[in-house]
Structure 1
């Protein structure tokens, strides 16, 4: 196919058509020659820029990203897909073809994050892709994304969910006679092998081998060979296992897939060690270790170090055995952290259905509250008309209205507190399940303190600024634990501010939460949130700045997300500010701006809140 397209390309002079053909040629090389794929994608990208064809530019960027995935350059690949995602935002998203391009972009990012063990981000992107493909009824791509989701669940050792999605993929692929059916067979077989059902595994492995003979795919065939080798290793048929591993090596080398090679060499090393062929075992164990370190593959690195320690011990080289045993212990600690992260992800996902139910109940409750407020508003209007015409007890009516406004203020306040409980409980549950008592106690203590402060605050309309700072510090420390120290924070109070200076309790938390969730967490690298309190003659000023992705980028990302709590919290905070302004009859100013750097690039978000200066009354 590439040769025939090249012939057509050479005969085409129209630049727009040449761009399309270049992208098609690039795509046709994805299963055989990633370097050629990259070459033609670069040509397509330059051509698309000249003709200002954004859609073809996106396709070229995606082809560049795919070729880098195959070559193991995951960070570089992610950069290309991020660029493509930005370009897609300028296209018509109601167009089905654009939806499918967007879905492909999410699916590809899911693959990268999965390979980098960032399973939460991988699932996030894959579920986005799945929804788009389901809305487009694209069964071909849907079968692939089901498979990818299954791979992620398999990676975090959730075998039941992995098998569920693999079988969904398998069913669709059988229906449409997909060329990728062999991939699902390979994955299903591996799960059955892990579940100690080797005969079921063999049935799917054999079907997968048959499918790959019909629809060759060197990279995935290499994975199947690796899986079949593991089956024969379990059966102690080591010669047959070696035959499949040598086939896997050839398949991976043909596509320059070093990720697959790392496992192939590890399995060969284990077989030769079992056969007491220590020199061959040493050779392949070293090869596996070299690749796994180069590609940052923690699990393979641990297994390679352990195997090398065993080999040198058997050879009588105690010094080298000890060196690799120490390396094994160090790498195993790192792997344990990753396994703990997997456990936390599983816990969070298990709570997902419960979260959905809670959100539905909250939605129902909000509808009831709206009806009640509407009914109360009608009463207030009727009472106002009555007292207007009767012109009696006006002062009593005004006082009643002020009290009612304050009650509404507190009611809105109380709605903000319950949402944070869920995430804290999930995190504490995760630590307990991991038997990480120290972290569980630490987290629980901070959580308990924050809840106690919240309950205390709910009784008061105003709290001292130091108490608010204490509450915010506890909240941010909990979020640091939740997101694995993804960000740092600083809280600065101007020395001129009196200790009895007061502000509405928990008013700032939704804005700080927004900085965490939609600012610094999506940012690559370490985040920083700074909170600064100062005052003028009449106002208390709070500035919240972060070095996150910026409000405009965040809005683009949130277009495809539904975050009921965040939108509700921000809406409630806005209502509280409006109520405060009416109650105090003083201006309350809120500004949210994006921080721009050189070349007009986003460097974060700044929130400035100016409140009337108030004090705690003795």
Structure 2
């Protein structure tokens, strides 16, 4: 299998090299032909145009030079078709540079000449170009009209490839104004036609734009999957602008899932490629996104620096949409710096622009930002008014993240104004929305449907084999009547033995399956035993004390963490494996909850950079029992500095988790009352790891040592965790 994979990889690479060489060869061939052609006629104009087109996505300077020469010669010759083609490509070039006014000027001139020579297909192409540029200028109604004009002509010409273009671009407009149902409908129609006509370019753009919709809806794995599919195609074709856009989209998505280092890698790559294409709009977007990363990393001065540069470029090219987004980003920074008035000024600027452009998604964010500034100043009535407006728009557009933000703001407003029932309801809504971002129930439902489909296929296949076998037996019986009696008896005996062996094999398989089921049941019981009644009783007692002491905020925080932890543990206990990221979240919640009452110890959880916690799946509840042991027993009669450190490393295909504390040490505990009592959690975990090692075909072990053998204090637990690695699954881009 690995050999076949290797051969396929070489084949794809070989095809990629051939495509690049073919393109370069075409440019070289056109250059030689132009040098050898000595006449200043329409043929020379066409050669100059072909050269500029061939260099369009590779060398902007060369494209510009060839176009200017073709323009001058077409004017001298009064060559209308040449002028039409040159002005169209000049318009495209200015659009790439985000010089939209110049772009529209050249498109108008191109349209005039194409109408004179009655080239319907090219007239429709210019309408598409108008639509793209109007979209960039946030003139959404104009963009839809342009695409409709183009679609009408393409349908008359039965040009399916270009119909795909208008469907994609129309979907982009609907997505931008928050009409996601119509957007997805247009994208899927485009995907169907692209697959029918084998239009890889169209398929790539559809994946890109579906990725944008999935990202907005919070389905990040599918968004990443679609962006990567589009990026692979752009790399194969050497599309620098396409690669820049996809790296930017991936950077934005990784910001959403808090993978900031990964996000910066993609964003800096996108920024570098954007400078090569002189695309000011994408440069502005990249600087804004890099500012967002530094904002989330709490490096606010660096964030302000990138946001300010982004705002300057956006205003320079009159990009109203991104100007309003940047105002919101700057407002967010000022809010974090404790400057609500400065923040509100930026949010209001964003609100005014988004009302002008009718961008409801940005308008919702503006309202919520203004609400947060008033909340910061304790002006609760004003905060309530803007939060409700932002929430209403978010619900109309079915945007989960803004709805979650609105619920969080409303919960705090209601709590501070004494409306505790509404505060509780808003907090419940916040939790519900938070859980909905990754809707596990839907994923499980899809998995179940796939399983049922495969099971039905297996049954159908079995029925077919049974029919074939029956036919074979009947044919054999007819032939045996003509044969000797002994041969018939031999065949019958053979069939009986075969049937008996089949029954025995079936029974063994059923027995083996039953044994596996019993093991799973036992393992789930062991998992549930990790959440001890003692811990639950203590947690509820602490919560009761907080309530009696009227520590409202602290009790709400404690209850939220406790319920989240309990839910996580119960969910994990139903699954054979969980994502490493989920397991670490449960451990961190447990540590935070245990430490919330008096902060008696410090703790850290560190993961080696080479480990992507979103692709490793491990058995649940392996780490928590040892963390619980450290909290309960490590610091007996000990005061002062208490630490628990958890570190995950990956080396030689082994996933290692090391849990250290600086307590009294395991040898000290053995010398006390529990000398002859083996740790229940260690025993259970050791037994589990023996079974799991065979099941996963990966090493699994646990060792517990006193750190004094290393001239240190405390206990060190080393877990070698069996694992499996899953493959990754799964900005709106315009197609010109």
Give the deviation of 1:434 after TM superposition.
9.2
Q: Deviations over 1:161-180 (max 9, x none)?
A: 22222222123223443321
Work out whether 1:444 is the aligned partner of 2:444.
no
Contact preservation (8 Å) 1:248, 1:264: yes
CA contact (8 A) 2:217 2:400 kept: no
Aligned mates of 2:357, 2:372 — CA distance in 1: 24
Of residues 315, 338, 349, the one that matches 2:436 is 338
Report the structure number with the largest CA radius of gyration.
2
Instruction: Report the TM-score, using the length of structure 2 for normalisation.
Output: 0.46
Q: Tell me, which stretches of 5 or more residues in structure 1 are unaligned?
A: 346-394, 418-423, 447-562, 565-618
Q: Choose the corresponding residue for 1:65, options 160, 164, 171.
A: 171
1:48 matches 2:180: no
d(CA) in 2 for partners of 1:51 and 1:340?
44
Aligned 1:226-305 pairs, distance under 5 A: 226-305=328-407
Distance 1:176 1:23, change over 3 A: closer
Q: Is structure 2 residue 244 aligned with structure 1 residue 143?
A: yes
CA–CA separation in structure 1 for the residues paired with 2:105 and 2:273 = 32
Q: For the residues of structure 2 that align with 1:114 and 1:269, how far apart are their CA atoms?
A: 25
2:324 aligned with 1:222: yes
Q: Distance in 2 between matches of 1:22 and 1:89?
A: 25
Report how far residue 262 of structure 1 moved. 1.4
Q: Give, in whole Å, the separation in 2 of the partners of 1:121 and 1:172.
A: 25
Maintained 8 Å contact 2:154/2:163: yes
Contact preservation (8 Å) 1:156, 1:342: no
Residues 156 and 343, structure 1, Cα contact 8 Å, conserved in 2: no
Secondary structure of 1:221's counterpart equals helix
Choose which of 303, 315, 325 in structure 2 pairs with 1:201: 303
Structure 1 distance, partners of 2:223, 2:577, is: 32
Where 2:575 maps in the other structure, the secondary structure is: helix
Matched, 1:17 2:119: no
* CA 1:113–1:226: 2 relative to 1, 3 Å: same
Determine which of 265, 268, 288 is the counterpart of 1:186: 288
Superimposed CA distance per residue, residues 126-172 of structure 1 (whole angstroms, 9 cap, x where no aligned partner)? 11101001111111121111111111122222223222222221232
Distance 1:196 1:303 in 2: 19
Alignment pair present for 1:307 and 2:432 = no
Q: For residue 3 of structure 1, report the CA deviation from its aligned partner.
A: 5.9
Matches within 5 A, 1:596-611: none
CA displacement 1:213-257 (0-9 Å, x = unmatched): 343322222221111111111122223222211221233233322
In the other structure, the counterpart of 2:264 is: 163
Correspondence 1:120 to 2:226: no
Q: Is the 8 A contact 1:88 1:102 kept in 2?
A: yes
1:29 is the counterpart of 2:127 = no
2:210 and 2:271 map into 1 onto residues whose CA distance is 22
Cα deviation digits, residues 558-603 of structure 1 (max 9, x gap): xxxxx99xxxxxxxxxxxxxxxxxxxxxxxxxxxxxxxxxxxxxxx
- Indicate the RMSD between aligned Cα atoms, in angstroms: 4.2
Q: Name the SS of the counterpart of 1:160 in structure 2.
A: helix
- Larger RCO of the pair (alpha carbons < 8 Å, separation 6+): 2
8 A contact 2:407–2:430 mirrored in 1: no
Contact persistence 2:130–2:146 (CA under 8 A): yes
| Change beyond 3 A, Cα 1:340–1:62 | closer
Any stretches of 5+ residues in structure 2 without a counterpart? 1-102, 444-490, 514-519, 528-563, 579-725, 728-736
* Mapped contact 2:241–2:274 kept (Cα < 8 A): yes
Going from structure 1 to structure 2, the CA distance change for 1:193 and 1:50 (only over 3 Å counts) comes to same
Change (3 A) 1:36 1:82: same
1:75 aligns with 2:75: no
CA contact (8 A) 1:230 1:241 kept: yes
Determine whether 1:328 maps to 2:430.
no
Name the CA distance, whole Å, in 2 between partners of 1:246 and 1:79: 34
Aligned positions, number? 380
Aligned-pair CA distance for 1:312? 4.5
Q: 1:80-118 CA deviation, whole Å, 9 max, x = no partner?
A: 011111111233x5xxxx533332221111101111112
Counterpart secondary structure, 2:378: coil
- Secondary structure of the 2:196 match is coil
Within-5 A mapping of 1:310-459: 310-314=412-416, 316=417, 318=418, 321-322=419-420, 324-339=422-437, 341=439, 436-444=568-576
The question of whether the paired residues in 2 share the 8 Å contact of 1:23 and 1:60 is answered with yes
**Partners of 1:240 and 1:178 in 2: CA distance:** 31
Q: Does the Cα contact within 8 Å between 2:340 and 2:376 map onto a contact in 1? A: no
Aligned to 2:32: none
Provide TM-score, normalisation by structure 1: 0.54
Whole-angstrom CA distance in 2 between matches of 1:173 and 1:342:
37
Indicate the residue corresponding to 1:507 in structure 2: none
Whole-angstrom CA distance in 2 between matches of 1:82 and 1:302: 29
Rounded to whole Å, the distance in 1 between the matches of 2:111 and 2:230 is 32
Deviation (angstroms), 1:294 = 1.0
Alpha-carbon distance change, 131 to 330 in structure 1, aligned in 2, over 3 angstroms: same
How far residue 258 of structure 1 moved from its aligned partner, in angstroms, is 1.2
In structure 2, do the counterparts of structure 1 residues 41 and 433 end up closer, same or farther at CA, with 3 Å as the change threshold? farther
Secondary structure of the corresponding residue to residue 183 of structure 1: helix
- Partner of residue 207, structure 2: 106
The residue number in structure 1 matching 2:708 is none
